[in-house]
Chains A and B, each alone.
Chain A
Amino acid sequence: MDKKTLLKLQITATKVRKNIVEQVFSASSGHPGGSLSSADVFTALYFNEMNIDPTNPKKSDRDRFVLSKGHCAPGLYATLAERGYFPVSDLKGFRNINSYLQGHPSMKDVPGVDMSTGSLGQGISAAVGMAISGKIYNEDYRVYSLLGDGELEEGQVWEAMMSAAHYKLDNLMAFVDNNGLQIDGKISDIMNPDDIESKFKAFNWNVIVLEDGNDMAAIVATFEQAKACKGKPTMVILHTIKGKGVSYMEDDYGWHGKAPNQEERDLAIKELDEKLVELKGEQHG
């Protein structure tokens, strides 16, 4: 990927991060940590990869995305808004009784949301369903899904792994936001599913590991690798930092589902604005 495209994507991801903070702040509730760690993969999917049309969100041959870790709705909504599915200004209604932006993704309320999620472990199964349908009806859309590393503790995830490999769903590509944290603490302390790389391989998936899962260029490169692999679904393990981009939220499980106060919001926006200035400088430099 050329430098120009990369910078554009990085700038978009930074704007997505700002709008994650703004949503959770204005709602005084929501999940910033996992939304921030996923901002790069959301951006790569919606701005560089997926065949979609924001003016026609339901077009039948579109690529699909299922946010299996539905609590990261602020990340998805910020991305959809940035991509033009609905006005960015609507984001401030997030979680409000008068807004369509439900606390967890709702496909019947929010344009661009392909599946209602929020109960962990179910979204990836729905993604398998979309991919199976694509196979049966010879449609060439692709299906993408994002899971949390805590979410992998749900048995249903492994039922989905089994069925996707069994039906050779090479039209399915999933990502794990491997940020190492869940609600009660570190994954390694609460319930450790490691070694996940070997487990996905044992379930007969094509597995790609990104040591830096917030590296935009590396994420973008995985799309072609996935398409090149025939007869197997692809899983990308993204080693990310929860809260990425907001210094005081980084790698702190306390920020899983907590909203910043005014002062904290201001600090976060300041840091992200500085990042934007830096990226724009590079763009013009």
Chain B
Amino acid sequence: MAKKIATRQAYGDALAEFGIDKNIVVLDADLSKSTKTDNFKQVYPERFVNMGIAEANMMSVAAGIATTGKTVFASTFAIFAAGRACEQVRNSICYPKLNVKIGATHAGISVGEDGASHQMIEDIANMKTIPNMSVISPADAVETRAAVKAAIDYNGPVYLRLGRLGVPVIFDKDTYVFEWGKGVMISDGTDVTLIATGLMVHLAMEAATILKEDGISARVINIHTIKPIDKDIIIKACKDTGAIVTAEEHNVVNGLGSSVTDVTSQHYPIPVKMVGVEDKFGKSGKPELLLEEYGLTAINIADKAKQAIAMKK
């Protein structure tokens, strides 16, 4: 079993690492130990600002700091970043296209015991629909580190979707290259393509192994940039494999799945099945048990793959 690291952990470590850039200012809203921005604070306390439990204010303050030419990271849980402060993100940050990176941790139901009030399953939807916003959802610690660097190098609003739960490290730190807006083919296949994001990526890889035992060849693609979406890699998957399954730890309404079908329906219609939270709220429980109960499993991805293949004309 690969080593497990939460993407929030990698985020905090990356801020501490790349924080050597004096232009970077980090904000948090009384959750710095959970979002791991505390790691940055330990090294650069003079460029860390705790805004208290006031997320809406934090987002507009971040915008204000960005107007002075700084690169701002603003962190809190995804539910508060993309939920409570959604309109501040839209009007203060995205409309003026300011250089604010939102480091949103505790996305999805793998938050666990805190329950539905804290399990954000609508953030991809809320964020991708705002003009000027880029949405990044890394699959592991290595990709998170690279995504933070890429976000620093990119000038404009970015939403970084990060998790609380430890997830297997998939990529090799020394060779991994993060390409903005590009999907990553993890393994090739001919019968179906599994397109996943975040912690569903390692489960899609497992699903491909399950399918292989049944004689089905599945391509696995990791989408770290949900917006702008990589049209080319999706269209090529349509042509090469003729069926797609999407997998995300998010509401199936308006998440990765619908970003993929936006492309397939307009460019190359083929059957697409979606794995995600079926438009219902989460609940309290251990993360692993919740993922199971909500069908966010390798088995479910594999089953949906068979259904998608059966739908091919």
Contact = CB atoms under 8 A, between A and B. Distances in A.
Is B a genuine binding partner of A?
yes
Interface of A: 27, 29-30, 70, 95-99, 101-104, 106, 116-121, 150-151, 153-155, 182-184, 190-191
Interface string B90-129: 0000000000000000000000111111100000000000
Contacts of B290: 97
Contacts of A27: 113
Given A96-B285, A184-B30, A191 B53 contact: yes
10 contacts: A95-B284, A96-B285, A97-B289, A97-B290, A104-B116, A155-B57, A183-B34, A184-B33, A191-B51, A191-B52
Given A106-B115, A106-B116, A95 B285 contact: yes
Chain B interface size, as a band, is 20 to 34
A76 B124 CA distance: 33
Contact of A150 (B32, B53, B57, B83): B53
A153 B31 contact: no
Contacts of A99: 284
Contacts of A97: 283-286, 289-290, 293
B284 A183 contact: no
A104 B53 contact: no
B80 interface: yes
A96 to B, nearest CB: 6
B117 A117 contact: yes
Contacts of A118: 114-115, 117-118
Nearest to B31: A183
A115 B51 CA distance: 27
A29 B285 CA distance: 10
Contact of A183 (B33, B51, B54, B283): B33
A193 B63 CA distance: 23
Interface string B153-169: 00000000000000000
Interface in B15-58: 28, 30-34, 50-54, 56-57
Nearest to B290: A97
Interface string B200-218: 0000000000000000000
B83 to A, nearest CB: 8
B223 to A, nearest CB: 29
B85 to A, nearest CB: 11
Contact of B113 (A103, A153, A183, A190): A103
A151 B53 contact: yes
A116 B33 CA distance: 26
B287 to A, nearest CB: 10
Contacts of A96: 284-285
Given A119-B83, A153-B54, 4 more contacts: A29-B114, A95-B113, A104-B117, A190-B30
Interface of B: 28, 30-34, 50-54, 56-57, 79-80, 83-84, 112-118, 283-286, 289-290, 293
Contacts of A182: 30, 52-53
B116 A153 contact: no
A245 to B, nearest CB: 23
Contacts of B285: 95-98
A154 B53 contact: yes
Nearest to B115: A103
Given A95-B284, A119-B80, A183-B31, A155 B56 contact: yes
A150 B31 CA distance: 12
Nearest to B117: A118
A183 B290 CA distance: 26
A73 to B, nearest CB: 9
B224 to A, nearest CB: 28
Contact of A70 (B34, B53, B80, B117): B117
**5 closest Cβ pairs, A-B complex:** A191-B52, A97-B285, A118-B117, A103-B115, A153-B52
B283 A119 contact: no
Contacts of A103: 113-115, 117-118, 284
Contacts of B84: 119
A65 to B, nearest CB: 18
Contacts of B32: 184
A154 B33 CA distance: 19
A99 B30 CA distance: 29
A116 B281 CA distance: 13
Contacts of B112: 29
A112 to B, nearest CB: 17
A155 B80 CA distance: 13
Nearest to B51: A191
Contact of A120 (B53, B116, B286): B53
Contacts of B51: 191
A102 B286 CA distance: 12
A191 B113 contact: no
A253 to B, nearest CB: 10
A95 B286 CA distance: 8
A150 B33 CA distance: 16
Choose among B57, B112, B117 the residue with the greatest number of A CB atoms under 10 Å from its CB: B117
B118 A104 contact: yes
B54 A102 contact: no
A162 to B, nearest CB: 16
Contact of A104 (B30, B54, B115): B115
A184 B50 contact: yes
